[in-house]
Amino acid sequence: MSYEKKADRSQVFLLPPSLEDWLPEYHPARFIDAFVESLDLPSLGFEVGHAPTGRPSYSAELLLSVYIYCYFDQIRSLRRMERACVENVALMWLTGNEHPDHNTLWRFFRDNKKAIRRVLKQSVRVAADANLVGMVLHAVDGTKIEAQASNKTAYYRKQKEAAIQRVDASIAEMEELLEASREAGIDSYRLPEELVNAKTRREKIRKSLAELDEAGVNNLQPSEPDARVMNCDGKNVFAYNAQAVTDEKAGIIVGEDVVTEETDHGLLAPMIGSVKETVGDVAETTLADKGYSADKDLAQAEKKGYEVLVNLGKNVDPGEGDKPFHKSRFVYERDEDCCICPLGKKLRFQRTTKARRGDGRLRVYHCSEYKECPERWQCSSNKRGRTIELSEHHEAVTKQRAKQKNPEAKAKLSRRCVIVEPSFAFAKHVLGFRRWSYRDLESNRAQWSLICSTINLHKIYTAWLKGEVALA
């Protein structure tokens, strides 16, 4: 004889008499509540609404707690947040069984973007108090996150130009047929519907090309104009470049930003500056990959006094080997503004020229003694003699190359990946963050800051469980 167990909805049971009894002592919701309670939200810029009439508004503490807990739990949809406040026991405890709807949650985010970004600083403060921030080695990197809007509705200049050519050819063909009908004496004719549709389609294409021209770009998502085409996980899609600076000691994110440039050129000094804004200081050394190795990046970092180690790839010492007259073997003399070749001959400044990549300038140095040089043809195959092009910031690059010949510097640089890459892996694989929830740059900056704060709070929560963190 077999038995089947079916749902019995008539049984009587008792829930704990108090919300306080619903959660275990060390549940993440209790940690998040303690963290939010430790914040001075008005000083961070959070707007606390006070309704003069009607139902009282939800406090900033309550709504911020909902956001942080939901991000902890991989929930970023506002409607899913609304539903979770009704169904999730932890959120019911956290909110005191209040049920903010998605519109309320959206207004809170919309009105407090700048304040939400300041929460990261508070998470770093708590981590520092718990001795989780070392400020010895930092690593900076970026990752591409796909835009919220669909790529199917985007404008691509090449596609639009090819499409308008096809439409123009089709319209011309149909108009020729109409003209031939008139010449044949066919007086009664009706403009074909296809021709009307083709002209309408052409106007739409012209309008989209005008939008591209106005924006000054070759690709545009009209419903998300801040997004740019980037290589994201091996495919070209509209995306944003999310930046993060991570501390080596416990993987705490100490600086972040979101930009619309696909490359990381020009971001080295600003990202280190974001750390200084968050922490009040910078690390002894900041590590970066070759995306940050532009001459200007190195020069800006040096000017601001930042100690950096940037992966230069094969260009660390390109003059070694069987190239005795490689450019790297020429020594620049600042006092005389000249380059000295391996044989001691001087190449004098001749002119400036535009760099082949980027918007910088190159200084051109020319050897006037090339006719008497015994190694002339070994040095250069140019019958007019050897020239050397140096960037405006070549001294910073030379210094960086010299630094990386040090074995200790090489060992530090090899740790870049294991410091910063886990932050992005955590965001994508643990928090499930692979697509933005908003369609403008400022909103996405606030969301990325919230993601980074959540990553930090995960690490602080582990220390809190061990009793290493006290939240006042």
pLDDT digits (tens, 9 = 90+) for 74-113: 999 999 999 999 999 999 999 988 999 999 999 999 999 9
User: Once rounded to an integer, what is the mean pLDDT over residues 122-134?
Assistant: 93
For the cut 90, the answer to whether the pLDDT of residue 452 exceeds it is: yes
Tokens representing 202?
């052409």
CB 62 within 8 A of CB 100: yes
* Mean pLDDT, residues 54-75 taken together: 90
CA distance 41 to 59: 10
Residues recorded for the chain: 472
Strands (E), 248-355: 253-259, 285-288, 308-310, 331-333, 338-340, 346-354
Per-residue pLDDT band at 42 (split at 50, 70, 90): very high
Contacts made by residues 403-406, CB under 8 angstroms, sequence distance 24+: 403/309, 404/309, 404/312, 404/316, 405/316, 405/317
Encoded tokens for 436: 């933005």
The residue among 314, 330, 344 whose CA lies nearest residue 388 is 330
Q: What pLDDT was estimated at residue 189?
A: 55
Q: How confident is the model at residue 375 (pLDDT cuts 50, 70, 90)?
A: confident
pLDDT for residue 370 is more than 70:
yes
- Give CA separation, 444 vs 32, 122, 155, 243, 451, in Å: 22, 20, 22, 12, 10
Distance CA 110, CA 364 (A): 52
What pLDDT is recorded for position 357? Answer: 66
Question: pLDDT at residue 175 above 60?
Answer: yes
Report how far apart, in Å, the C-alpha atoms of 242 and of each of 141, 354, 446 are.
9, 30, 11
Which two three-digit tokens encode residue 138? Answer: 């930092």
Q: For position 222, what pLDDT does the model report?
A: 82
